[in-house]
Structure 1
Amino acid sequence: MRTIKILLIDDHPLILEGYQNVLNRLEIADIKFVIETSDNCDQAWQKIVSENYDVVFLDINFPVAENSRFISGEDLGAEIKKEFGNKIKLVILTVIEDPLRVQNILRNVNPDGFLVKGETNSEELITCLKKVITYPPFYGATISKILQSGVVNPQVIDEIDRQILHQLSLGTKTKDIPLHVHLSLRAVEDRKRRLKEIMDVQQGGNKALLEKARKSGYI
């Protein structure tokens, strides 16, 4: 009998319990499912590097712990794909629906599955799991609609951009960001200008940029 080991990563206990209950009911001939959970990115990474997981379900938004290696689930997802490639099938499960944000996650992480929580029921969760372990990828309705729209934004908001947004959200002054991100002050200011252009923030300074970043799910 084949064993498929699954790790569910989300910071909401009720959501983890719900996913686990759904997947525990799944029965496929000659396959045994072993399901484990984690509620933060750092703990999850330690599990991933020490265990042999076949599938990881990952949320994007997490509270950032002090000295955390990962700002968001996107950073963890990118690291999983970088280190393990197709050995681990990665499914993003998030509330994020902003097209630009979704496109950036697809570019930066390249997950095997992508679902929006608000539209995902137990049947679709199971369908997604079956698809990613046999013939990925699997995208939910909202993600498929974004991909099928044909509207592609070439602007990528990368890990460094997200670090800058994170520091701004903590109240770090622009002049002090180079102490936390390995960039010159000029490079930080250039990236801030670019972020405002991408997010169509025309006025309001850092406050307006952060409001748009929160609305889009970057912080």
Structure 2
Amino acid sequence: MSNTDIINILMVDDHEMILEGYKNVFSNISSESKKFNIETSTNCEEAWKLVNDKIFDVVFLDINFPVIEGSKLISGEDLGIKIKNEKPLIKIVILTTLEDKFRLQNILFNINPDGFLLKGETNSSELIKCIERVIEQPPYYGQKISKILRSGVNHKLTLDKTDRSILYQLSLGSKNKDVAESVNLSLRAVENRKRKLKEIFDIEGGSNKQLLEKARESGYI
């Protein structure tokens, strides 16, 4: 009878070469006592279908993806929240290039991931340390991301899914009435949300263009 522990992992990233690199790392550390089964996905919609169809212990998740038209999962953050809410036994590790403090704080608050790494600081040994900790005793945060997050978190400045959807619709050039229909809010509610977003990004009274520029700089769109 086999005593091998099998860890089922889903890696979600829109760069095939990065996914191949992850797979190679886990292939190299598989042993008689612990085996890693790796599946990959390059978009959030496909990843969600896999999560529903199969059993995964850990999902490694990037944040920024090209948006699929008609998809309700605009980013990896949306997918991470959905997994947390509907598949709470799955552990989530965020792997991102984003370094904007405000954006990272929002990901931490909205998803509360079991692991959190910046791609720029993640080599094979760091990835191995992360998976071992996440399986046995989460959370595991990389050194650089820990430093960024320790510098202060303000939960009052958290953007929810509706805020992110409004920013996305505005980035497509949608008019306010079309944005309102898309996010199922009144026109007045959308205007109030936009006002709040401009305050958060410190551009009170600014234009939509300025708002979108700030949102792009922070990694929201």
Question: What displacement does 1:211 show?
Answer: 0.8
Q: Which runs of 5+ in 2 are unaligned?
A: none
Calculate the TM-score normalised by the size of structure 2: 0.95
Provide the residue aligned with 2:44 in structure 1.
Answer: 41
Percentage identity across aligned positions? 61
RMSD: 1.3
Helix, strand or coil at the partner of 2:185: coil
Q: Which letter does structure 1 place at the counterpart of 2:63?
A: I
Q: Is residue 2:107 matched to residue 1:95?
A: no
Q: Which letter does structure 1 place at the counterpart of 2:45?
A: D
Superposed, which structure 2 residues align to 1:187-198 within 5 Å?
Answer: 187-198=189-200
User: Aligned equivalents of 1:200 and 1:94: distance in 2?
Assistant: 25
Q: Which letter does structure 1 place at the counterpart of 2:79?
A: L
Deviation digits for residues 92-117 of structure 1, max 9, x if unmatched? 00111111111111111111001111
Provide the residue aligned with 1:70 in structure 2.
Answer: 73
Q: Which runs of 5+ in 1 are unaligned?
A: none
Q: Is residue 2:202 matched to residue 1:206?
A: no
Question: What displacement does 1:175 show?
Answer: 2.7
Question: What displacement does 1:142 show?
Answer: 2.4
Provide the residue aligned with 1:118 in structure 2.
Answer: 120
Question: What displacement does 1:203 show?
Answer: 5.4
User: Aligned equivalents of 2:161 and 2:8: distance in 1?
Assistant: 29
Q: Quick check: 2:195–2:204 contact (8 Å CA) kept in 1?
A: no
User: Aligned equivalents of 2:7 and 2:107: distance in 1?
Assistant: 25
Change (3 A) 1:182 1:16: same
User: Aligned equivalents of 1:65 and 1:81: distance in 2?
Assistant: 22
Helix, strand or coil at the partner of 2:180: helix
User: Aligned equivalents of 2:155 and 2:7: distance in 1?
Assistant: 36
Q: Is residue 2:168 matched to residue 1:161?
A: no
Q: Which letter does structure 2 place at the counterpart of 1:43?
A: E
Q: Quick check: 2:8–2:37 contact (8 Å CA) kept in 1?
A: yes
* Among candidates 15, 19, 28, match of residue 18 of structure 2: 15
User: Aligned equivalents of 1:181 and 1:151: distance in 2?
Assistant: 27
Helix, strand or coil at the partner of 2:202: coil
Question: What displacement does 1:67 show?
Answer: 1.2
Deviation digits for residues 24-71 of structure 1, max 9, x if unmatched? 111355211101100000100000011000010000000111111201
Helix, strand or coil at the partner of 1:180: helix
User: Aligned equivalents of 2:72 and 2:179: distance in 1?
Assistant: 17
**More moved, 173-182 vs 51-60:** 173-182
Q: Which letter does structure 1 place at the counterpart of 2:181?
A: L
Q: Is residue 2:180 matched to residue 1:178?
A: yes
Q: Which letter does structure 2 place at the counterpart of 1:11?
A: D
Deviation digits for residues 193-219 of structure 1, max 9, x if unmatched? 101111112454111111110110111
Provide the residue aligned with 1:139 in structure 2.
Answer: 141
